[in-house]
Amino acid sequence: MNLFLIGMPGSGKSTVARHLAKALHMTYIDLDGMIEKDAKMFIEDIFEKYGESKFRSLETEALKHLPEEGAVISCGGGIVTIKSNKALMHGLKIYLDTDLDVIRERLSTDYVRPLLKQKSLETIYDERFLKYQDFADLIVSNNQDVHQTVQLIEESLRKRGII
């Protein structure tokens, strides 16, 4: 089974996915990294040169080429903006629910995400919150440190008989 981490930009998807994959002895896949490798361009450059809609189509194509089993996949924050992506995510979809203040703090030391150059964090959250809820099979708070979040996910997976 694959585990898909979804959530807002800066919610910690990549960090949690790396640690979770290691803890579960699974493969870690960064969907944005796959897209960059295939396109031979950084995400920011794809947005600037071709726009968000082109990036979203590349994101959907990347979903179609994922392994069927055994990976923890960090998805881009906007994966939920294309409803049909949900059907391509074969496995458990885990929404990292993270307070905007925590996200804002994390992003203060990170690069500026392409979409955040066009919209505020609050606007993106308002547009996507219900979509994250709809996609999610499991919702986990990621307001604490990565190890606590990984423990919460592992406990939930054990209760569901997945691990």
Please report, for the domain that includes residue 28, its CATH number. 3.40.50.300
Residue 120: the pLDDT is: 87
Domain tally, the chain? 1
**Does a structural domain hold residue 38?**
yes
Of 37, 32, 27, nearest to 1 by C-alpha is: 27
pTM of the model: 0.93
Q: What's the DSSP call for residue 81?
A: G
Q: Is 40 left (phi over 0), alpha (psi -120 to 50) or beta?
A: left
**Does a structural domain hold residue 162?**
no
Cβ neighbours for 151, distance < 8 A, ≥ 6 positions apart: none
**Does a structural domain hold residue 147?**
yes
pLDDT digits 0-9 by tens, 60-91? 999 999 987 899 999 999 999 999 999 999 99
pLDDT digits 0-9 by tens, 147-156? 999 999 999 9
**Does a structural domain hold residue 33?**
yes
**Does a structural domain hold residue 163?**
no
Return the amino acid letter for 13. Answer: K
pLDDT digits 0-9 by tens, 26-50? 999 999 999 999 999 999 999 999 9
Which range of residues forms the domain containing residue 7?
A: 2-156
Q: What is the average pLDDT across 11-18?
A: 96
CA angle, corner 111, sides to 52 and 150, nearest 5? 95
- DSSP-assigned letters across all residues of 85-135: HHHH--EEEEEEE--HHHHHHHHTTSPPPGGGGTS-HHHHHHHHHHHHHHH
Give the bridge partners for 28, in sequence order.
72
**Does a structural domain hold residue 161?**
no
